[in-house]
């Protein structure tokens, strides 16, 4: 196992609740992060996303103007402003399977149910840094490969259909964030 050097990563935290933003900022700082930007709604987050080009976005689902789901969909536009490959960690108090699937289909990389824990947040960040998934581009989807099992032998009901998919390797944050020694 290796350590992540958090001070080399830029984070954008988007949540309409100031207390949750403070908790996330405090946790990220305790991990060693120095650059943590905050937004209280999806519109402000999109502006900050293009301005600061964060390495990782942590967003709440329910927010004013537009929510975290809409924010993820805007960021995942291949020709949009900013980096469409940045990992997106979705926070929500609603963790029903249906919501997890909707978030996944919008291009969310990781899902974290509230109330969050330091361990849960760290694990999601470690996962997006150490195990980046390739991106899939089809006519109707652009985002991280929704399958964690990359076996080509899968023949189940959720097998990808609809023609060829272009696989785009996601730039890894590992080289940037690997702590020395």
Exposure on the CB side of residue 93, measured as CA atoms within 13 A = 6
Tally of structural domains, the chain: 1
Reply yes or no on whether the pLDDT at 152 is more than 80: no
pLDDT of 113 over the 90 cut? yes
Average pLDDT, the chain: 85
User: Residue 139 above 60 pLDDT?
Assistant: yes
Q: What whole-number distance in Å separates Cα of residue 94 and Cα of residue 112? A: 10
* Tens of pLDDT, residues 44-62: 999 999 999 999 999 999 9
Q: Are 134 and 145 in contact (CB under 8 A)?
A: yes
In a domain, 89, yes or no: yes
Which token pair is 112? 């974290």
Q: Say yes or no to pLDDT of 172 above 90.
A: no
* 158 within a domain of the structure (yes/no): yes
Residue 145 has pLDDT above 90, yes or no: no
CATH number of the CATH domain containing 125: 3.40.50.2300
Residue 155 has pLDDT above 80, yes or no: no
Distances (CA, A) of 63 to 32, 67, 69, 102, 168: 27, 5, 10, 16, 31
CA 17 to chain centre: 19
Q: Give residue 29's Cα distance to chain centre.
A: 18
Query: Does residue 145 sit within a domain?
Result: yes
Mean predicted confidence (pLDDT) in 86-111:
91
Q: State mean pLDDT over 155-175.
A: 63
161, pLDDT greater than 60: no
Convert the pLDDT of each residue in 16-39 to its tens digit. Answer: 999 999 999 999 999 999 999 999
User: Residue 1 domain-assigned?
Assistant: no
In a domain, 157, yes or no: yes
Q: Is residue 31 part of a domain?
A: yes
Domain of residue 10, residue span: 6-177
Residues 158-175 have a mean pLDDT of 64
Considering only residues 11 and 101, tell me which one the structure prediction assigns the higher pLDDT: 11
Give the tens place of pLDDT for each residue, 68-98: 999 999 999 877 778 899 999 999 988 888 9
Q: What is the pLDDT of residue 67?
A: 93
Over residues 140-168, the mean pLDDT reads 65
| 29-33, 156-160, 166-170, 174-178, range with the lowest pLDDT | 156-160
């Amino acid at each position: 196992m290796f350590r992540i050097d958090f001070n080399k990563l830029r984070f954008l935290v988007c949540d309409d609740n100031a207390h949750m933003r403070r908790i996330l900022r405090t946790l990220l700082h305790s991990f060693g992060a120095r650059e943590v930007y905050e937004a209280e709604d999806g519109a402000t987050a999109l502006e900050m996303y293009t301005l600061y080009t964060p390495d990782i976005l942590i967003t709440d689902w329910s927010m004013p103007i537009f929510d975290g789901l809409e924010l993820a969909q805007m960021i995942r536009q291949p020709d949009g402003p900013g980096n469409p490959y940045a990992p997106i960690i979705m926070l929500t108090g609603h963790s029903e399977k249906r919501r997890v699937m909707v978030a996944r289909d919008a291009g969310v990389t990781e899902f974290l149910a509230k109330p969050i824990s330091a361990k849960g947040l760290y694990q999601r960040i470690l996962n997006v840094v150490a195990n980046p998934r390739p991106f899939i581009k089809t006519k109707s989807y652009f985002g991280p490969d929704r399958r964690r099992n990359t076996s080509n032998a899968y023949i189940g009901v959720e097998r990808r259909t609809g023609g060829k998919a272009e696989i785009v390797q996601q730039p890894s944050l590992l080289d940037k964030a690997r702590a020395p020694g």
